[in-house]
Amino acid sequence: MNQPDSSPSNFVRDIILNDLQTNKYQGRVHTRFPPEPNGYLHIGHAKSICLNFGLAAEFGGKTNLRFDDTNPEKEEQEYVDSIIDNVRWLGFQWQEPIHYASDYFGQLYEWALKMIRENKAFVCDLTADEVRQYRGTLTEGGKESPYRNRTVEENLDLFERMKNGEFPDGSRTLRAKIDMASKNLNMRDPVMYRILNAEHHRTGNKWCIYPMYDYAHGQSDSIEGITHSICTLEFEDHRPLYDWYVEQLGIYHPQQIEFDRLNLTYTMLSKRKLLQLVKDGHVRGWDDPRMPTLSGIRRRGYTPEALRNFCKAIGVSKTNGTIELGLLEHHVRDDLNKRAPRLMAVLRPLRVVIDNYPEGESELMEAVNNPEDASAGTRKVPFSRVLYIEQDDFKEDPPKQFFRLSPGKEVRLRWGYFITCTSVVKDEKGEIVEIHCTYDPATRGGNAPDGRKVKATIHWVSAAHAIDGEVRLYETLFNCESPNDLADLNPRSLEVLTECKLEPALGSSEAQFRCQFERLGYFCADNDTAPGKPVFNRIVGLRDAWAKIEKKTK
């Protein structure tokens, strides 16, 4: 048996450890991740991916990537490609080859014939609405279909004709013959096959009947030799049905284990509603940085390491709950703090003229790239007579406790000099468009030889050397902690700033370059970035409320 690492324990891991100790599967650990290709993966899937791939890797096992492609009306190759790309981006590699439920359509059909021959399945003519009416409720049993007692011969004939395309969509189904009085609604003669004249993205028009997920699920696991079929809790009530199918067929029986799904505050993880956001134009696509899809948060600038650390931190349980978005952002900051270089950008520029600095001259200031990483070294930042600072870093009539720049007040320019404001210039509307300052040449690098202190350090960019850039500031897509529908959309989820001034080093940024804009937050070059035209997404701000809470509880 492989020796486990120091990973935190959870009940799923404990089950696997026990199975290895008892040699239940001859020392094997074989998991799978079975997404339906009807949309893009979201952060909820990241938890399942990390759990399935992580446990198999810990114990020297294997993980299959299998597409549950049993519903051709909603599935597309685009979704298949994006899922493959994002699982790989998250840092995991599946056991080759990639599997598809459609690989097993032939075998599933043969097994259906076996069940018909053994009088365990029948062709039903009830409509979908009638099936629901006959099913009963949680407190009342259902009633049997009037077609339940068809002969085996009639059922075999009708099922073959269903396969041959003789009947219209929805006119007939194949149903398992179990127990209409069962307390579990899933066991009340569930549908196994429906007629669906739709082209499949892999099998084309070969089939016009498609297996239901509940019929294909357990048998697909069985075919692949999965040892631990790890599902979210909503599948717990379906487990007796999966067990029933494999037992009736007399095939290898995988073990299903259910765990809690991931729910995040201010986040909606319904693929149906995410698709609606895309189709209705509320976002720019599946990879919009406001979306909780892996493609979206990847474009925004989240790192796979941060996601894996987050999934590890939240753990696994048997009770559904909701995780605070702040915890996810904490792990993003924690990861970027170690790796992201620090640079300067001014998002809402205010022009500053240093009157006693020589006109036409400039100099290079030495700036530390990352104080958390000495190996990151330093860079040169140009300084000149005219600078840009943030509008919020100056107030003509400052309130108490405002320590940044104001008339007569001295501040430090990051990596630069001490400056003091002497006057302001306003336009015809009375708005400040320029401020004039003096600088102290003896304070180069940000320290005064006489030991005097200042209470604020502000960032800046040299006007003569600034790169024009666009910055996109993102807030939560929904404005309440538990969004229910699109009425909860946040109208201020995106602010686009088009007149930003960036230090020269940012001009050559390529897509997915991550850095910290000093004092502003962590940012990532968007896919729209072009040579000389950088576009940055704010990944997350600098303030980490979760870290403060964590320190108080220790």
Strand, coil or helix: 214? helix
Identify residue 215 by its one-letter amino acid code: Y
In terms of residues, how long is the chain?
554
**C-beta of residue 467 within 8 angstroms of C-beta of residue 535:** no
CB atoms within 10 A of CB 299: 24
The partner residues of 232 in beta bridges, in order of sequence, read 259
Helix H, strand E, coil C: the string for 402-414 is CCCECECCEEEEC
Which token pair is 181? 């009085």
d(C-alpha 45, C-alpha 36), whole Å: 11
Distance of alpha carbon 39 from alpha carbon 36, whole angstroms: 8
Task: Identify the residue whose tokens are 């952002």.
Answer: 329
Active-site residue, 261 included: yes
Q: Is-catalytic flag, 271?
A: yes
CA nearest to 296, candidates 513, 497, 526: 526
Q: How far is CA 216 from the centre of its chain?
A: 27
Give the span between the Cα atoms of 446 and 462, in whole angstroms: 16
Q: In what order do the strands lie in the sheet with 209-211?
A: 121-124, 173-176, 191-195, 209-211
> Cβ distance 296 to 288 under 8 Å?
yes
Backbone torsions φ then ψ of 379, nearest 5 degrees? -140, 165
SS3 296: helix
Rounded Cα distance, 269 and 264, in Å: 8
Catalytic residue among 261, 284, 395, 519: 261
Tokens of 447: 């320290």
First to last CA, the chain: 37
Cβ count within 10 A of residue 205: 11
Considering the candidates 150, 163, 188, 271, report the single residue annotated as catalytic: 271
Instruction: State which H helix or E strand residue 131 sits in.
Output: helix 128-135
Annotated active-site residue 74? The verdict is: no
Check 36, 305, 324, 372 and give the catalytic one: 36
- Show the tokens assigned to 186: 């899933």
Residue 360 burial (CB < 10 Å; 0-12/13-18/19+)?
A: exposed
What DSSP state is assigned to residue 50? H
Catalytic (active-site) positions: 36, 261, 271
